[in-house]
Chains A and B, each alone.
Chain A
Amino acid sequence: MIMEFWYRFISILPFDWAQPGQFFFMKNALLAIILISPLFSILSTMVVAKRMSFFSDALGHSAFTGIAIGILLGWVKPVFLAVVFSILFAFVITLVGQKTKQSKDTLIGVFSSIAVSLGILLSTWGGKSFTKLNQYLIGDILSITSADLNSLFIILLFVLIIWWILYNPLLVVSVNTDFAISRGVRSIWIEFIFSALLAITVTLTISWIGLLVINSMLVLPAAASRNISLNSRQYHRWAYIISVFSGIAGLLVSYYLGSSTGATIVLLQGTLFLITYFFRRR
């Protein structure tokens, strides 16, 4: 129903693929971008504010391992095992990070290396070919189905609800954790929930975006936005605009160039980062 409406709505666009009755993969991809971009822009604001870009990168690696294990076990949808795996991974890192004096950076590096090499070992064991996993490295947004779109919509809604309820304490924790605790914020739970949101999002979108560029999409919108923002509202607004603009433009450009969509989007975001850098505000 909704898809029918979308296909009809989009046919007003002046593109050849937008005409009725054809190129459904492209129309699905466009809708996917419209859902993914705000999702990533929202999460990116905190990934950057909390300096968690390395952590979100590691989440991608752990998701990859989960998928490899899922395939090994013969699951049709290995992604569900991957979600569980990366949420677990996120919890362990958050918890261990709180308990030890080891630098969090080192810790994430160690866990991430173990995860990704375990994934590669399991999926190549016995001389098996790695090609099955290639789609998770580069990603293919054109492979998205209308069922996938449903789950994307649900994730976006879920993240928005959590963001509505938890953003304020999360902001205080991101500014200064000790101060947040002294004001009664239960920082460890806030961190857990945010990590889990990241884990779910990264894992579920990795096959469309690709491990190699997914983290850039979780960093660049906010990194560019913070150059020109002075408060939380500007920060979110610009991250959203940059993410949606590069998303849609990236999809269209990659369609005509025949290039990887994820990489094209990230290149656009990178360019926007450089531009905003020269218009920094204090």
Chain B
Amino acid sequence: MNLPARSCDYKGHGGLCCTQVVQFGVTIGSETVLKNVNLHIHCGELTAIIGPNGAGKSTLLKALIGLIPHSGELHYLDAKHNRSEHPLFGYIPQDFSFDRDSPVSVLDFMVACRYRFPVWFHVTKSHQKRIEKSLHEVGADHLLHKKMGVLSGGELQRVLLALALEPVPNILLLDEPVSGVDQSGTTLFYQLVSDLRKQYDLSILLVSHDLNNIEQIADRVILLNKTVLLNDTPANVFSSQEYRTAFSLKDKVSE
């Protein structure tokens, strides 16, 4: 069963601000990757996007931040009901590949992302203080002077999360944020994300295959396969026929 479609005026759940995705579509070459995607994402809510491989989950996030051209519209409505076409996104990509031999420290990279004063010359005291504070918030104080190339998957994620949270975004987009991280690291990371959502009243859009953790922390679950099949509470989505159909192939393999 579906909940009635909710508009941004709906105040019964979550915060007051809201992001509207209207009729989103992405076509790459001759292939339609996404079509007719309509979403309302409320502040303070963690929305998980699930779907089979090739469903267009990562594509949707990339289209939202403008990495991929798309059709349709994006509206952001803040708590004072000011409209904007371009909410501020924080984004952690699925695949953050880089040259691990490169002599770039975590401090270098974070300063380079945020400030203009050239890191090859000097890192100012005040910049370093602010980076230290950001790392502290994600429990990664000890990584400050480490070379990017020696970070583990989980450590890299924390650094990217710290970057995504400053300036505090309107919407935080996390694409498979725990691939390549062990089980305890995964749970810790989800716990951290869940805490941050409450602390900053963030909208979080999370693409993940980790269905167990999603059931624990997500407020809503979107079942995506080229378009939105379901948009409901975790319990409702996971018990639905559509969910079983979408993942049927996977079930047969694992059973």
User: Which positions in A face B, CB cutoff 8 Å?
Assistant: 45, 49, 51, 163-165, 167-169, 171-172, 174-176, 178-179, 181-183, 225-226, 229-236, 282
CB pair B120–A282 under 8 Å, yes or no, is no
Please judge, given known A-B contacts A49-B99, A182-B65, A232-B103, whether A168 and B115 are in contact too, CB under 8 Å.
yes
Q: Given A167-B119, A282-B150, 8 other A-B contacts at CB below 8 A?
A: A165-B116, A171-B104, A171-B112, A182-B65, A182-B89, A226-B101, A233-B119, A282-B147
CB pair A230–B105 under 8 Å, yes or no, is yes
Q: For the complex, give the distance between the alpha carbons of A20 and B22 in Å.
A: 78
CB pair A234–B103 under 8 Å, yes or no, is yes
- Per DSSP, chain A at the interface is helix
Stretch of B74-82, B90-98, B206-214 that contacts chain A: B90-98
CB pair A231–B112 under 8 Å, yes or no, is no
B113 touches A (CB below 8 Å) = yes
B67 touches A (CB below 8 Å) = yes
**Can you identify 24 A-B contacts, CB atoms within 8 angstroms?**
A165-B116, A167-B119, A167-B120, A168-B118, A171-B104, A171-B112, A171-B119, A172-B112, A175-B98, A175-B109, A175-B148, A176-B93, A182-B65, A183-B163, A226-B103, A229-B103, A230-B103, A230-B105, A231-B108, A232-B103, A232-B119, A232-B120, A233-B122, A236-B120
Chain B, Cβ-Cβ closest to A166:
B118
- The number of inter-chain residue pairs (CB within 8 angstroms) is 94
CB pair A171–B109 under 8 Å, yes or no, is yes
Least Cβ–Cβ distance between B142 and chain A, in angstroms? 15
CB pair B67–A181 under 8 Å, yes or no, is yes
* Interfacial chain A residues near B148, Cβ < 8 Å: 175
User: Which positions in B face A, CB cutoff 8 Å?
Assistant: 65, 67, 89, 91, 93, 96-99, 101-105, 107-109, 111-113, 115-123, 145, 147-150, 163
Least Cβ–Cβ distance between A51 and chain B, in angstroms? 7
Q: For the complex, give the distance between the alpha carbons of A225 and B120 in Å.
A: 13
Chain B, Cβ-Cβ closest to A222:
B103
Least Cβ–Cβ distance between A139 and chain B, in angstroms? 28
Least Cβ–Cβ distance between A223 and chain B, in angstroms? 10
Partner pick for A235 among B89, B97, B116, B120, CB 8 A cutoff: B120
Chain B, Cβ-Cβ closest to A170:
B112
* Interfacial chain B residues near A235, Cβ < 8 Å: 103, 120
**Most B CB atoms within 10 A — which of A51, A164, A176, A226?**
A176
* Interfacial chain A residues near B105, Cβ < 8 Å: 230-232
Partner pick for A178 among B89, B93, B120, B149, CB 8 A cutoff: B93
Q: For the complex, give the distance between the alpha carbons of A174 and B104 in Å.
A: 10
CB pair A169–B145 under 8 Å, yes or no, is no
The 5 closest A-B pairs by CB, nearest first: A229-B103, A231-B105, A168-B112, A167-B118, A235-B103
